[in-house]
Structure 1
Amino acid sequence: MNHYEQYANVTFEQQGQETYVTAAHADLELHGIGRSAAVFRIKDTRLVVKVFFPDYTHIAAEEAVIYRTLEGLPQFPRLYEAGVNYIVIDYIEGKTLFECLTEGIWIDASYIKQVDAALAAARRLGLTPSDVHLRNLILTPDGRIYLIDLARFRQGQHVDHQWEDLKRMYRLYRLRFMPKRYSERLLNGVAYLYRTFVNDPRH
C-alpha cells in the first residue's frame, strides 16, 4: 500500500526555462525545484517527497532502485516509498556545501573524506557515481555529510570527473590567502562555464 501517493498530485507550469508549482497538497512545504523534480517536506514529519515533472517521471523508478541499492549506508537518505512519479526519503537537516560557500561556513577536510568514502561504497555496490556537486552534498549540524539527488548513480553510465575537479579546487580553498565566502552569482557562473566547456554530466 502506498501511504504517500496523495502527495504526488502536484501541478506544474513551465514558463520558458523555468518550472513552477501551481498546486500541491496542503501538507507539503516546497523546499526546492531542480531540473527534473520539485522537493517538498511533508509537514510534521522527517520526510520529503520528490515529485518529478511530467517529462521526467521515468527517473522516479531509476532513483528508487539506486536508493534501495544503497540502503543501510550512513551517507545516504533512506527510501520509504516510490511511485510512478515520486519517491519519499529522509529529510536531511543541514546546509548544502554550496550554501556553506555562500555563507562563509568552513568546509573541513573531514567532509571531503566522508564524500570519498560514500562514493567508494557506492562503487563497491556496482554503481557509477556521477554529477556530484556542491548542491547535492548536505552538511548536518553534527558534521556529517549526506549525498542526495542520486539519479546519476546508475550502473554502467558515463563516468565524469566533476568530484575530482572539485577536490582540486578545495586544495586552493584551503590556502590561507584564499577567500572562504563567495557570492551565489559567482558560483553559479563558474558552474555554468564548467558544465559548458569542461564536463557535462548529462552526456
Structure 2
Amino acid sequence: MNSTVELVNSIKLKIDKNDISILEKDSALEFIGAGRSAVVFKIQSTDKALKVFFPDCTSIAKEEAEIYEILKGNPYFPTLYEAGDNYLLIDYIEGYTLFECLTQGIPLTKSTISETDHALSLARKAGLNPSDIHLRNIILTPEGKIKLIDVARFRQTKDCRQWTDLKKVFFTFYSKSYFPKKFPVSVLNTVAYLYKKNIIHVASYKKSS
C-alpha cells in the first residue's frame, strides 16, 4: 500500500463554495464525508481514517493534531497515528453519529448522554475546553459506546453551550415516551441553523432525579 503522504497527494479536489467534488483519489481511499475544513476517507482494509484539510485550513490541521496529542490515551477519542501539514491519520470509528441516530430512529439513552458527559469531563481534566459539540461529532458505536471526533475547537476560551443545550432538549423533550425518536434531515438541519443564528433558544430546565 502507498504511504500516507502518497495517499494524500493522490487526492484532487474541486472546492466551489460549500460544494466539494473529488476529482481524483487513490483506489484504497473510501470517501466518508466532508466538513467545513476537510474531507475524510477510510483507508480500505484498515481500521484507520485519513482526514485531509483544505488548502486554507492547514492551521486547523496543526491545531487538531496538537489536541489529539493532549487526548492521547483517552478511550473516547480517536488515536492520532500520523500528522502532516494538511492531514491527520486517525482511528476509523464505526457507527452512527447522533444526527444519523435521530434521522434513522435509533434510540438514544440516558447512558449515551452520561457517557458523553464523562468523555468531556476527562478532556477538561486534561486542560481543554471542549467546544462545538454537536450531533454530527458524537458517534454511537455498534457496541453502544460513545466516541467523539473533530476536536479542533477544544482549546477555545469562550463558553460553548451547545452540549449543555442538547442535554436540556434530551431531558426535557426527547426522553419522554410520547416524544418522537425519528426526524427528517431537513427538520434537524433547520433547527440547527435557527439555533446557530440565535433565532431559537433552549430554556433552562431542572433535570429530574
Asked if Structure 1 and Structure 2 have the same fold, meaning a TM-score greater than 0.5 normalized by the shorter chain, the answer is: yes
The aligned runs of 1:100-119 (5 Å cut-off) are 100-119=101-120
Report the CA distance between 1:18 and its aligned residue: 1.6
Per-residue CA deviations over 1:127-180 (Å, capped at 9, x if unaligned) read 1100000000000111100000110112x5222100000000101101111111
The alignment yields a C-alpha RMSD, in angstroms, of 1.5
For the residues of structure 1 that align with 2:169 and 2:108, how far apart are their CA atoms?
A: 12
Query: CA shift at 1:123, angstroms?
Result: 0.6
Partner in structure 1 of residue 203 of structure 2: none
Contact 1:129–1:159 at 8 Å: present in 2 too?
no
After superposition, what is the alpha-carbon deviation per residue over 1:34-78, rounded to whole angstroms, capped at 9, x for unaligned? 010000000100000000011111111110111110011110110
Contact 1:47 1:89 in 2 (8 A): yes
The residue number in structure 2 matching 1:91 is 92
Kindly report structure 1 stretches of 4+ aligned residues shifted beyond 4 Å.
none
Q: Structure 1 residue 22: deviation in Å?
A: 1.4
Partner of 2:70: 69
- Within-5 A mapping of 1:24-35: 24-35=25-36
- 1:159 alignment partner AA: D
Q: Distance in 2 between matches of 1:58 and 1:21?
A: 22
**Superposed counterparts of 1:1-203, under 5 Å:** 3-9=3-9, 10-154=11-155, 156-171=156-171, 172-197=173-198
Report the residue type matching 1:161 in the other structure: R
Supply the distance in 1 between the matched residues of 2:38 and 2:26 (Cα, whole angstroms): 16
Segments of 5+ residues of structure 1 without an aligned counterpart are none
**Residues 77-134 of structure 1, C-alpha deviations (whole Å, 9 max, x = no match):** 1000000100000011100010110011110110101110111111111111000000
Give unmatched runs, 5+ long, in structure 2. Answer: 201-209
